[in-house]
Structure 1
């Protein structure tokens, strides 16, 4: 592996935007560390540190960094799709091949994660062992899958939204912002049922659209973007129905995250502007050979680590309970003193899980693609994103009892969502004829 990473790092062309790779790795790393820090597990269950110390919720304005990942995704999707468009001027297999090229390193490790946890959940429930922390784990481990589902939607909409971007530029982004604002007005002023779920599309696709603008060098005033986003978010929280926290909080009536709100979109604008302001020093940093080598290595396993990091964290707490190691009161001095040890152990277990499953993140050897089916691809990715989003909501708890959750306006169960995700993945694979027409690049997933 070390030799492969070294070769990839050495082969990176000077034209590659390495800062984007750094942002991708850093954003996922912050999310993982944030989840490990926020978990407040006691003998009574799992809580959230931000609920124990509400003042810390202000930190989410800097550390809720997932918009940066989606922004980077938009940039990379624009480059990838344009590259494929040049290779396939007739356009016939373009959509199917684009989907498989973008999703192979995302869906394969996700499908393995779902299958492993699904089998484990079935065994645990057949043995009536789904009580206590085990039952909590069966609910929690799938929650990060919402990110996969949203990312799938971004890939699916890239051809259409890129065409709108190329025709209308900032106006296409403005239309998505206006749609997100209209959804919140309908939600909060007129209490329209279920309409809030539409902002899973409008809010995140607006952030994704900023990546297209960056790809064309059209974010020329990042300070203004950051300032407008920060002021907008502050005004909405101060005078509107929006909570302070930019991550979901247990028991809150309104969440900025699920479904996303206009306040979260403003937060995304602030973060995008901020990271663009840091572009020059960040680019200089990542051009250092050792730093770039680390970024390349991290990019090759980032998705596997993201999928399994909650499993590792819950494993640490489960071991502590099994060994009768005291769990201090969250936010107490003893809890803070124990935190570095818990994080180090979670990192170690994550490393073991990555070593076990990272081969599924490696792209298969490919050759020039031909053929493909756009309709198969469209149906496949739709099933994938609905299945993955649904599973993130329902979890694996109550697998045999038919526990359900609301996905948009439809009740879904874990078996149903797993079936949709697996069938969708197979359709996406089949749609491109099992062959790719473009490599993702030297540094890993874009």
Structure 2
């Protein structure tokens, strides 16, 4: 622990003066809000036939759904991702002029994402297999095997954002706000086709258009082009309110059980407007937020949290379900959701989930640490001198990386949809128009990850100097 504290302190002391610490703070806060929101929303309910099921507090108390207009904060995370991806890709291109850096970019951006994700996927696949071979998997155990994989949709969307960063960044550099506008107009067209024309499967296109539009705003931030954040926030809030009041969109900005239309899956124009409001509000607070993040103690906390953020996100539902499982296992009475007793018990449940989550992070955090870089390959030289080449060469792993990230994207999204319940029975789910099973989705994600890793290591030596 002392060594880790010293490492965090050293990283904090070595932070360049020009680093945007507020962006790092937003990343930590957004994931923290997601974790806390999931812990608060998940409730154990008793169905009409007496079975226990995991439900949603917002469905039990619909009046609380208005809170999602503040707590559905994933757009802020994806916005910060766009900002970071723009800086990372430009840095790589500056250091390797004349060379394709696509494979290097994917590997650099995804290494700390895919390693902990693949460990999570494989550990839960193995647990599900053991449970079902032993004849278990019924009741709340089956619910847990289905629910733990659902947050992986976020990983799949993030993979798509990374994959599309180079072409969309070029569009941004050429067209600026018009590039964002094109994606927003496409989202409008999709919802029109969905709700007005009833075009089947059209809605799934907004998984790309809505989230990539949010991501595109991060590029605009990187270039200092969000100059009127209050206008952005006000426009987004007014548009979201109008769409919900006048259109077919529900109040909740997260999915609700049994609803015919969800603002999240697939995302809607209302969610895009909601994202504009949140991002504008975050930018309005940029000044005080930057000063807050600049405090030494706060910055050390941000660095420490960022080092385990993905691991904590992946395992947070596991922690909560473990707490519920333990309570039911010892015969503890669970109060009626949203009752006075339930609210009184909430701090205890949250503390227990945090304790279990801390243990899981301690066990699995090693997979989020950056891998040691491979030694640089020497390049050919000519003449009688003793110099060596630059080692930048010409990247040849781009196509391999593109195949890899596509497989990862499909595999991770497939796992999030199908879950691990009924793993041995060939249960499938429809990903867009493609049926997928858990084993095929796991295989696709694993192979894709290995291809991205391999592509990022392939560098063809530069041609000898004349």
**TM-score, normalised by the number of residues in structure 2:** 0.92
Say whether 1:73 aligns with 2:90.
Answer: no
Matches of 1:344 and 1:179, distance apart in 2: 44
Q: Structure 1 residue 40: deviation in Å?
A: 1.0
Q: Which moved more, 1:35-44 or 1:317-326?
A: 35-44
Q: Equivalences for 1:368-407 in 2 at 5 Å?
A: 371-407=395-431
Matches of 1:361 and 1:284, distance apart in 2: 28
Instruction: Name the structure 2 match of 1:51.
Output: 59
Kept in 2: contact 1:372–1:433 (CA 8 A): no
Matches of 1:433 and 1:294, distance apart in 2: 33
* DSSP-derived class of the 1:46 partner: strand
Kept in 2: contact 1:384–1:421 (CA 8 A): yes
Tell me which of 335, 356, 360 is aligned to 2:342.
335
Instruction: Name the structure 1 match of 2:39.
Output: 36
Q: Equivalences for 1:39-438 in 2 at 5 Å?
A: 39-43=42-46, 44-92=52-100, 94-366=101-373, 367=375, 371-433=395-457
Kept in 2: contact 1:372–1:432 (CA 8 A): no
Q: Structure 1 residue 365: deviation in Å?
A: 1.5
Kept in 2: contact 1:203–1:265 (CA 8 A): yes
**TM-score, normalised by the number of residues in structure 1:** 0.96
Higher relative contact order (CA 8 A, sep 6+): 1
Count how many residue pairs are aligned between Structure 1 and Structure 2: 434
Matches of 2:151 and 2:396, distance apart in 1: 31
Provide Cα deviations, 1:50-85, integer angstroms capped at 9, x if missing partner. 011101000000000000000000000000000000
Q: What residue ranges of structure 1 are gaps of 5+ in the alignment?
A: 436-446
Kept in 1: contact 2:107–2:453 (CA 8 A): yes
Please tell me the root mean square deviation across aligned C-alpha atoms, in Å.
1.0
Provide Cα deviations, 1:29-51, integer angstroms capped at 9, x if missing partner. 00000000001113521110001
Kept in 2: contact 1:110–1:307 (CA 8 A): yes
* DSSP-derived class of the 2:425 partner: coil
Matches of 2:396 and 2:81, distance apart in 1: 24
* DSSP-derived class of the 1:137 partner: helix
Q: Structure 1 residue 372: deviation in Å?
A: 4.2
Matches of 2:396 and 2:260, distance apart in 1: 46
Provide Cα deviations, 1:167-208, integer angstroms capped at 9, x if missing partner. 000000000000000000000001111110100000000000
* DSSP-derived class of the 1:384 partner: helix
Matches of 1:372 and 1:332, distance apart in 2: 60
Q: Which moved more, 1:403-412 or 1:16-25?
A: 403-412
Provide Cα deviations, 1:229-248, integer angstroms capped at 9, x if missing partner. 00000000000000000000
Kept in 2: contact 1:40–1:330 (CA 8 A): yes
* Structure number with larger C-alpha Rg: 2
Kept in 2: contact 1:109–1:360 (CA 8 A): yes
Kept in 1: contact 2:411–2:442 (CA 8 A): yes
Instruction: Name the structure 1 match of 2:15.
Output: 12
Matches of 2:235 and 2:183, distance apart in 1: 16
For residues 158 and 317 of structure 1, do their structure 2 counterparts lie closer, same or farther at Cα, with a shift above 3 Å needed?
same
Moved over 6 A (4+): none
Matches of 2:85 and 2:415, distance apart in 1: 25
For residues 49 and 121 of structure 1, do their structure 2 counterparts lie closer, same or farther at Cα, with a shift above 3 Å needed?
same
Kept in 1: contact 2:397–2:458 (CA 8 A): no
Provide Cα deviations, 1:274-304, integer angstroms capped at 9, x if missing partner. 0000000000101110000100000000000
Q: Structure 1 residue 147: deviation in Å?
A: 0.3
Q: Which moved more, 1:43-52 or 1:160-169?
A: 43-52
Matches of 1:173 and 1:42, distance apart in 2: 42
Instruction: Name the structure 1 match of 2:26.
Output: 23
Q: What residue ranges of structure 2 are gaps of 5+ in the alignment?
A: 47-51, 377-390, 460-466
Q: Structure 1 residue 91: deviation in Å?
A: 2.1
Q: Structure 1 residue 10: deviation in Å?
A: 0.9
* DSSP-derived class of the 1:432 partner: helix
